[in-house]
Amino acid sequence: MKTTTLAIAILTSVPLFSQVPLTTTNNTLRHGDILCKIEVPYVDQGEKGSDVVWHLPAIPADGKEHLQAINSNGDTIVIYEEGRMQHFLARNDTLYDKGTQSRRAHQIYAQERPVMHYPFGYGDRIEGGFTGEGRYEMLTYAVTGSGYTVADGTGVLTDGEDTLRHVTRLHTHDEYTLDYGGDPASRHLAEDRYLWYCAGSRYPVLETWQLSLHEGGTFTPLDSTACLYLPVMQQEDLEEDPENARLLADLDAADASAHATAQSAGPFTPIRSSLSSDGTSLTLSYELDTDAPLHILASDIPGNLLGSIHYASRPAGTWEDHLTLSQRPVGGVVAIHVECGTQSLMLKVTSNER
């Protein structure tokens, strides 16, 4: 079932960034859902904050696919995946992590770890301690730790050609100790998980996970994974989802309204751009009539993201920006996407050497 379709929109004359909170109506785990996730190369989590651009990894030709089945009974929720079960409890509007188990191992919490309290929006945070016991093969241990979940960013996910808008990122961080009661010695571990939710998709679009061991006064990464849940597959393979369909329709209507009211004369003059002869840097010059948010994405023709510039509010005046590209553009051609208020622009520039 290999596919690279993301079912996402190319930049248009509407704002790139907005905040859509996670809610029980649109983003809770639902009984009977079966999700398909595809393994992708691990990507750096990028920046936190508002108006952020995150990199959307390409799907490798040999990317492995895994199915997740969700079963819920009252306040108990279980996610099944390849012989592994992850347990959650839902109390009122708060979701708690109860632990995991497989054929040869388990880690179950007597004091559950709070994961999220709905609704959850940018800047919100929930934290708490957890305790329990675990077993791996013939080893048993006690686990004690604490963690937090924070919505630390809003912005877009892009592969340089296509862009997912209305994205909220969650960061979950846990530190815990496994005490084996003697030999071997206890281990101090940390887990960091990042989840990118796109408005209109029931589940995260992108997820990364990293496990680190604390030794010698620092944390050393031990293992990491990343996976992609394609929005088009969420929309096609899951049961009918009228709540998210309604949210998508509302966002589309708002975007269309913003596009219709955008004037041809906007806050910025046409951008004058030039690419260095070696294709390693881009120069952009323009004028702003009024203070306005400004977002510029540069990519090459295959869609590789080469660089970006973001101003929450760029003052009126004459400006020149210099952007160092992450790599030389394929074919010596750079595609530039610009958003300034409700005004948008798309242009291409080539280097003198092709």
Inside any domain, residue 177: yes
How deeply is 128 buried, as exposed, middle or buried, from its count of CB atoms within 10 A (0-12, 13-18, 19+)?
Answer: middle
pLDDT at 91: 92
Residues 150 and 280 in one domain: no
Mind listing the pLDDT tens digit for each residue in 40-96?
A: 999 889 888 887 888 888 888 888 999 999 999 889 999 999 889 999 999 989 999
Inside any domain, residue 12: no
Cα distances (angstroms) measured from residue 241 to each of 28, 72, 230, 238, 250: 12, 17, 16, 8, 14
pLDDT at 258: 56
Residues 288 and 238 in one domain: no
Of 224, 252, 280, the domain-final residue: 252
Residues 177 and 299 in one domain: no
Residues 292 and 238 in one domain: no
Query: Of 12, 6, 10, 8, which Cα lies nearest the Cα of 339?
Result: 12
pLDDT at 214 over 60: yes
Residues 33 and 89 in one domain: yes
Are 117 and 24 in contact by the 8 Å Cβ rule? The answer is: no
Top-ranked range on mean pLDDT: pick from 3-7, 10-14, 256-260, 311-315: 311-315
pLDDT at 80: 95
Inside any domain, residue 3: no
Of 208, 224, 252, the domain-final residue: 252
Residues 244 and 278 in one domain: no
Which tokens go with 283? 């120069």
Inside any domain, residue 227: yes
Which tokens go with 27? 């983003």
Residues 180 and 218 in one domain: yes
Residues 59 and 108 in one domain: yes
Inside any domain, residue 62: yes
pLDDT at 267: 65
Residues 155 and 35 in one domain: yes
Please tell me the total count of domains within the chain.
2
pLDDT at 266: 56
Amino acid 71 reads N
Mean per-residue pLDDT over the chain, rounded: 84
Are 14 and 253 in contact by the 8 Å Cβ rule? The answer is: no
Confidence of residue 333 (pLDDT cuts 50, 70, 90): confident
CB atoms within 10 A of CB 3: 12
Which tokens go with 240? 């009918």
Of 202, 219, 252, the domain-final residue: 252
Inside any domain, residue 4: no
Confidence of residue 262 (pLDDT cuts 50, 70, 90): very low
pLDDT at 146 over 90: yes
CATH code, domain carrying 323: 2.60.40.10
Domain span at 86:
24-252
Inside any domain, residue 324: yes
Mean pLDDT, range 288-299, rounded to an integer? 86
Mind listing the pLDDT tens digit for each residue in 226-254?
A: 999 988 878 777 888 888 888 888 887 77
Residues 194 and 313 in one domain: no
Mean pLDDT, range 261-270, rounded to an integer? 55
Are 74 and 180 in contact by the 8 Å Cβ rule? The answer is: no
Cis-peptide into 21, omega within 30 deg: no
Top-ranked range on mean pLDDT: pick from 48-52, 81-85, 275-279, 350-354: 81-85
Residues 31 and 120 in one domain: yes
Inside any domain, residue 11: no
Residue % of the chain over a pLDDT of 70: 87
Residues 299 and 235 in one domain: no
Which tokens go with 127? 């934290």
pLDDT at 2: 39
